[in-house]
Amino acid sequence: MAGALSIAIDRRRWDVAALCLVTGYVEAMRRVPAESVTEMLDLLGGEMDTTLRQHQDLPRESTK
């Protein structure tokens, strides 16, 4: 994904760069425990908007 992001930035394709960043965010949120995500969002933005809570419904990857 980092390669795609770099190319998008070089070509000033901000829509593609934004998509790469959002995709990376979603992948990262799938890998951490839900309580960690909630705490991080609380630190970043105070109270979470209900739309931000929806990410907790994403399937989580096993950390075995």
Phi, psi of 13 (to 5 degrees): -95, 80
> Of 57, 64, 60, 1, which is closest to residue 30 (Cα–Cα)?
60
pLDDT < 50 positions in the chain: 48
| Structural contact between residues 54 and 25, judged by C-beta atoms closer than 8 angstroms | no
For the segment 25-38, what is each residue's pLDDT rounded down to a tens digit? 889 888 888 888 88
Structural domain boundaries in the chain: 2-54
Q: What pLDDT is attached to residue 60? A: 61
| Structural contact between residues 56 and 37, judged by C-beta atoms closer than 8 angstroms | yes
